[in-house]
Each structure stands twice: as structure tokens, then as C-alpha cells.
Amino acid sequence: MIAKLAKTCTLRISPDKLNFILCDKLANGGVSMWCELEQENFFSEFQMEGFSAENNEIYLELTSENLSRALKTAQNARALKIKLTNKHFPCLTVSVELFSMSNSSRIATHDIPIKVIPRKLWKDLQEPVVPDPDVSIYLPVLKTMKSVVEKMKNISSHLVIEANLDGELNLKIETELVCVTTHFKDLGNPPLASESTSQDRNPEHMAEVHIDIRKLLQFLAGQQVNPTKALCNIVTNKMVHFDLLHEDVSLQYFIPALS
């Protein structure tokens, strides 16, 4: 999923969590991503020693496709070990213990070049702050949404996402020749979102954001399975924030508004 969303990304390692981070500056029109995995849900043994006792973290920059390709060889493995090594240059070494026809096992090793990020740059790689949304709404089935957006991409490079507190979400494109809108109804709104904004907001009033359709399509194409929870938060004319939960993995994805 990460390999489809970001060519290169930062891997943050801490004693209890792993994070995949993409921090293109929203102000410059780039997307941002914060993906979180609880390490205890993935590893039977986990040892790490960070920069210091107070800053017990490691930040690495890597090509996500390289890690994805290495892990694909481990789908039917007996065991998998990931180590930070130095082989004339820093590497994330993935050792895969594979079953063989005889009772003996084979070890396949992948050395993935990485760049260790110095501590002075860590401040730019923190979890993004989510501004209070004007509307928060549950997303429709992402596969359906993707097929709709793929068709719309052939007409326009821009898309308007609009939603309200009445469970309605619209995807809209407008050109000089045509206006196309896809309506999703009865999606529901998170209870807290409805309570905090309903006092001063008409439930039928739409909040909208104008975005690059390719960035939305890249996000939708990266979703391999339908998440257990999928939320869309709209900050009018500023950004759209997607918050997904895939069993043991949470993903936040931010697309800025077009100016």
C-alpha cells in the first residue's frame, strides 16, 4: 500500500511503533501521509536502540518499492528478520528463511540501501496536526469511489469533493463543456463530528474542497483492501484529510486544496 502511495518515504522506528511518513509541504501543493503500525502486532521479537534515552528513535529514508519487493519473497517464509546494517553503506537487511524440498531451510537476503536521517531534521517528520474539519463523513466503498474517479479523470484534472452533516458526499467536475456530479447518500457522520459542529452549522450545508484529481486517484489506487473504518474530513478550501483503519494499520493522508 505504501509503495503505491509514495516512491520514497521515511521509516520512523521507536520501541512501540513503526511509522511510514511522507511529508511533502502542503503549502507547496504536496500530499502528506502518516501510517502507523504497532510493532507488537507484527514482531515476536523486537530490539532497537535509538539516538539517546530521551530520543529513542531512528529515522530512515528508503525507496518503498525496494522494501515491498523484499517482503513479497517472505509470504510463505518460515521466519523473517529485519536488521539495520552497515555494508559499506547503511542498509535495511531483510533475511528470509524459506522452506525447501528437503527439511533444511534456505536464507534469502535483501540489502536495501537507506539514508539515516540526522536528528536536526526530525522536527519536519512529526505527525501532522489535523485542523478542525468543517465536515467529517464516512467514505463509500473505496473500490466504487476509485472507479468513479478514474472515469472523471478522463474529463478533467480537477475535482471538487463536497460533503455535509446529513451523510451526503458529492464528487464533482466542471469544465466549459460539461458538469458531472456523482452523489453518495446515507453514508453517515461520526457522532462527535456531528455534535461539535451541528450547533452552528446547517446539516444540509456542503463543505467543499477543490483538489488535483490525480492525487486522489493515487490515494484510492493504493488501497488494496477495504478498510474497517474510512473517514473523510474536509477543511473548506484548505485540505481534505482521509483517516483509514486497516486492522493493525492506521493511515492518514492529506491532500491540499488547489489555490
Concatenated DSSP letters of 64-92: HHHHHHHHHTTTT-SEEEEEEEESSSEEE
Whether 243 maps to a domain, the answer reads yes
Whether 215 maps to a domain, the answer reads yes
* Residues 6+ away with beta carbon under 8 Å from 37: 17, 18, 19, 248, 249
Are 77 and 15 in a shared domain? Answer: yes
pTM of the model: 0.88
Q: Give just the sign of the alpha carbon dihedral 173, 174, 178, 180.
A: positive
Residue recorded with cell 517528520: 125
Are 221 and 156 in a shared domain? Answer: yes
In the numeric block, which cell numbers belong to residue 105? 531451510
Whether 71 maps to a domain, the answer reads yes
pLDDT tens per residue, range 118-127: 999 999 898 8
Our count of domains for the chain comes to 2
pLDDT band at 197 (very low <50, low <70, confident <90, very high): low
The last residue of one of the domains, among 67, 99, 124, is: 124
Are 117 and 2 in a shared domain? Answer: yes
Query: How far is the C-alpha of 21 from the C-alpha of 117, rounded, in Å?
Result: 13
pLDDT tens per residue, range 60-92: 999 999 999 999 888 888 889 999 999 899 999
The CATH number of the domain holding residue 170 is: 3.70.10.10
Are 116 and 93 in a shared domain? Answer: yes
Are 58 and 170 in a shared domain? Answer: no
